[in-house]
Amino acid sequence: MATYPQPPKWAETLIDRFAPEHLAEEIKGDLYEMFLSDVKCFNDSSARRRHSWRVIGFLAKSFFWKRPTYQNHNMTGSYFRMAKRSLLANKGTTTINVLGLVIGIASALAIISIIRFELSFDTFHTNHKNIYRMVRVSGADLSEFRTGIPYAVPPALKGISSIGKMTKLEYLRGANVDVLSTDGRFERQFVEEDGVVTVEPEFFDVIDFADRPIKWISGDPETSLREPGSLVVTRTVAKKYFGDESPLGRTLRFQKAFDFKITGVVEDFPPNTDFPFRLLMSYSSMPLLFKDRMSDWVSANDGHSVYVVLHDGVDAKDVEAQIAKIHAANVGKDLSEYRHYFLQPLREVHFDPNFGTFSRRTITHETIFALQLIVLCLLAVGCINYVNLSTAHSTLRSKEIGMRKIMGSSQKNVMAQFLAETLIIVLIAAFAALGLVAVFMPSLVSMLGLQVRVNFFDPFLWITLVSIITIVTLCAGLYPALLISRFNPLSAIKNQFSTGRIAGVSLRKTLVVIQFTATQVLAVATFIVVAQMEFFRNVDMGFDRNARVVTIRLLNNEQSSLSAFESELRRLPFVENVAKSFTLPSGVERNRNSRNIGKPDANDVQDYQNYEYSAVDENFLDLYGIRLIAGRNLTSADSSKNILVNETLMKNLGYKNAQEIVGAELKMGGGDGVVHVVGVINDYYGNSLKERVDNIALDANAGRYRQVSVRLGLAADQNMTDVLTKLEQTWKSIYPEHAFQFRFLDDNIAMFYEQELKYSRLFQVFSTIFVLIGCLGLYGLITFIANRKGKEVAVRKTLGASARNIIIMFSREYIALIAVSFALAVPIAWYGVNEWLMNFENHIDVQWWLFAAPGVIVLVIALAVVCMKSFSAALANPVDKLRNE
């Protein structure tokens, strides 16, 4: 025996396993014969190798995989006819299946559109992979992320050879714009909240919108943006300012001071760009706006950004090193060690919340991943419903299957028929979902503040839909089809069957558990997100956040008109208090200015504290309910040399208690002299509660007032519109040419949490959807089981069981399943929720009831569904069930 060389075992097994039965023998014979002759000619091992290759050769041949067909009719038409009949025969199940899938597919389509929109940001520029934004990271722990680059830096980088192109721009965001008539008189006024920018002609070489070209309606990038004082507007702006008149050659006056002549009109910028520009001034006008700052190496406006295109194959790290060298050569050692310039790839700009974007929108990769996960879960839950219902139903259809097989159907035929049924259901669901998306997408999009539109001519949408249909059909249909087609005809007709079991637990139960685990994770997440939002909305921020305060933005702070305005305001009956300040205590619309301050003996950068300084008048603390802990309030007599500090700054400077610091002298960074501390105020949150309390100091420098806060004491019947009209009239009487720009403090603070608010709404929507789909499936299952067990119930009732016994009999199993899924959901949710809460400096404690409550709610809803159905089964008259056999 041992003398006979043997070919490799696995090769033989492969042939045995896969070859058509009637061919296996001859193939193996031929292979063996050749193997033996190889053994004679070569050695054993090369004979084995040649044998293996021959076997693989067979695997690659199509005849090897063909099976004899006993039936050559084309049954496709019949599959669909049969499928239609059986779907119509079980209308209830069909409806539930379709509904579950419709919701799943519709949500999936909507989220996929959103994800695609977010991923498409600024991907349409030539070389977008080589474009970088210069950013600045400072602090000993590299914790301050900014995009502003001092004006003197970019010209100095011209010598770096790896930089192909460079363009700088300053995003000014908002502006007050006056339209002047052709002879130079004031005509109309507009307030732009955003979109105002100064750009170089080269901007359109770097950010060139190559795949989504922006048409120049008149003018061109080369000449229109060359001269100082020239301005290019988008079509929408031109239309808004001038209607059908030609805007070319007209003059706009910005901030009552700077005149710009319109030299070009461009098409609107696309929605998926982080360059949302509408009024583009020439960068050569910058010296007009910022005068002597153009040679500044140190301070920077946050809007002044620099974009570079690196040559192919250049490592950004090398360029950063060269920039660092140039920077170090031009500023002091302190600053060059404290501040670092980096190059951020343009493709990361939209996904990095640290630096932000001009469009104010970013989305992290984690969020996108979470959204993708939700898409998968939604589709999975829909599929699970289908699998559950159709495997349950297969038991009813076992007789049909048995009969089909006896009449000559092969396993393949039966599978084809069941897959056809699935396909029909998925197709119906997919098209219904498309309709649903068309109807609800606009409201979902506006809820999330996006500009996604569903375009039905977009091939991507159809490709997505077709792949969803294919995947769902296979996922949902394959298992039931396999299971059902495997029935042994004899036992099928005798009604002996079994459904699949995984490790001894029925597949159906496993799927129900998975489904409800997903649902409960989402439900818990929703509870936590909503609780955190409530916390944000109600927590004490250190000042009176519930006060009805209107804040009005000043365009100049010329003393006489300002005090005239203040006294006019005080004369209004509903005005409780008025305060002037540089900025607001909190809110999104808040200017920030920071400097360094230290103890008198401070020398090094490390000894100084970076703090935010603001100017206020004597009414400010009172109006906002900020408490004075020690010392005295500022008065109008105080100069900018007297300051109030908050507790955090006091502690960070190393003072133990408030008495100690009152009267102390502090040294300003950069040799700006010495200030006196006259008082200490309590900490308040200038930022959102997501962050810590900053170091804050206040002085009484009247030259820096930019905001007027008006606290209103409203009678119950007072109409807000009237109040605003009165305020505006007062404003116009003092500042006839200035636009009245106001905000409510509470709106302003609420805007901090816009992003979180969107999440919380999204979570609420999706957890509702999950619960809905889950309950649909449960309803289907229970309906089916109640029908199946009809006879058992009838017998039990005749033997004396009460309706309550019957209901308990039905619901016991599901309570257990939901309890198991709850146990699984808690740790998953715990982990996810903690990760999310860690994003916020101030967050709620995760309490047990935040887990228990959603769990109980899901359980109650599920139980309600189960009871509803089992109740009717329990009440049915036993005679009806027992009679028909």
Residues that bind other proteins (CB under 8 A): 23, 25-34, 36, 53-54, 57-58, 60-64
* 287's tokens: 């010296």
* N-to-C CA span, the chain: 65
Residue 326 exposed, middle or buried by CB count within 10 Å (0-12, 13-18, 19+): middle
Minimum CB separation of residue 15 from other proteins in Å reads: 11
Give the C-alpha separation, 424 to 98, whole Å.
10
Amino acid in position 393:
H
The residue among 34 and 772 lying less far from other proteins, judged by its C-beta, is: 34
Contact 66, 72 (CB under 8 A): no
Beta strands, E only, 716-836: 742-744
Q: 657 phi and psi, to 5 degrees? A: -135, 170
The residue among 53 and 186 lying less far from other proteins, judged by its C-beta, is: 53
Minimum CB separation of residue 74 from other proteins in Å reads: 19
Pick from 802, 779, 803: nearest CA to 863: 779
Contact 791, 881 (CB under 8 A): yes
Minimum CB separation of residue 38 from other proteins in Å reads: 11
Minimum CB separation of residue 412 from other proteins in Å reads: 21
Minimum CB separation of residue 25 from other proteins in Å reads: 5
- Chain CA centroid to CA 342, Å: 26
The residue among 7 and 631 lying less far from other proteins, judged by its C-beta, is: 7
Minimum CB separation of residue 22 from other proteins in Å reads: 9
* 764's tokens: 């609420």
Q: Give start and end residues of each alpha helix (H) in 799-847.
A: 803-837
Angle between helices 848-875 and 790-798 (to 10 degrees): 80
The residue among 60 and 329 lying less far from other proteins, judged by its C-beta, is: 60
The residue among 27 and 137 lying less far from other proteins, judged by its C-beta, is: 27
DSSP bridge pairs for 664: none
Minimum CB separation of residue 396 from other proteins in Å reads: 43
Minimum CB separation of residue 1 from other proteins in Å reads: 13
Pick from 722, 592, 680, 643: nearest CA to 302: 592
The residue among 59 and 403 lying less far from other proteins, judged by its C-beta, is: 59
Amino acid in position 547:
A
Minimum CB separation of residue 31 from other proteins in Å reads: 7
Contact 371, 361 (CB under 8 A): no
The residue among 57 and 827 lying less far from other proteins, judged by its C-beta, is: 57
Give the C-alpha separation, 208 to 417, whole Å.
54
Minimum CB separation of residue 66 from other proteins in Å reads: 9
Minimum CB separation of residue 58 from other proteins in Å reads: 4
* 750's tokens: 């609420």
The residue among 36 and 152 lying less far from other proteins, judged by its C-beta, is: 36
The residue among 54 and 641 lying less far from other proteins, judged by its C-beta, is: 54
Give the C-alpha separation, 330 to 158, whole Å.
15
**If you search the block for the tokens 């461009």, which residue do you land on?**
266
Contact 553, 861 (CB under 8 A): no
The residue among 40 and 291 lying less far from other proteins, judged by its C-beta, is: 40
**If you search the block for the tokens 């007709």, which residue do you land on?**
493
Minimum CB separation of residue 76 from other proteins in Å reads: 23
Element spanning 134, H or E: strand 131-138
Minimum CB separation of residue 49 from other proteins in Å reads: 14
Pick from 657, 658, 666: nearest CA to 630: 658
User: What DSSP line would sit under 193-238, residue for residue?
Assistant: EEEEEEE-TTHHHHS--TTSPPPEEES-HHHHTTSTTEEEEEHHHH
Contact 358, 274 (CB under 8 A): yes
The residue among 61 and 185 lying less far from other proteins, judged by its C-beta, is: 61
Amino acid in position 42:
F
- Chain CA centroid to CA 366, Å: 9
* 448's tokens: 């999330």
* 685's tokens: 């949150």
The residue among 28 and 791 lying less far from other proteins, judged by its C-beta, is: 28
The residue among 33 and 44 lying less far from other proteins, judged by its C-beta, is: 33
In the DSSP assignment, the letter for residue 613 is E
For the beta carbon of residue 524, count every other beta carbon within 10 angstroms: 27
The residue among 29 and 184 lying less far from other proteins, judged by its C-beta, is: 29
Contact 611, 594 (CB under 8 A): yes
The residue among 26 and 458 lying less far from other proteins, judged by its C-beta, is: 26
> Helix or strand or coil: residue 698?
strand
Contact 236, 190 (CB under 8 A): no
Residue 22 exposed, middle or buried by CB count within 10 Å (0-12, 13-18, 19+): exposed
**If you search the block for the tokens 């669909």, which residue do you land on?**
80
Strand pairing class (674-681; 665-668): antiparallel
Minimum CB separation of residue 23 from other proteins in Å reads: 8
Minimum CB separation of residue 28 from other proteins in Å reads: 6
The residue among 63 and 457 lying less far from other proteins, judged by its C-beta, is: 63
The residue among 32 and 258 lying less far from other proteins, judged by its C-beta, is: 32
Helices (H) then strands (E): counts for the chain: 31, 24
> Helix or strand or coil: residue 471?
helix
Minimum CB separation of residue 11 from other proteins in Å reads: 12
Minimum CB separation of residue 314 from other proteins in Å reads: 51
Minimum CB separation of residue 3 from other proteins in Å reads: 13
The residue among 32 and 290 lying less far from other proteins, judged by its C-beta, is: 32
Give the C-alpha separation, 5 to 3, whole Å.
6
What is the sign, positive or negative, of the torsion defined by CA atoms of 482, 484, 485, 489?
positive
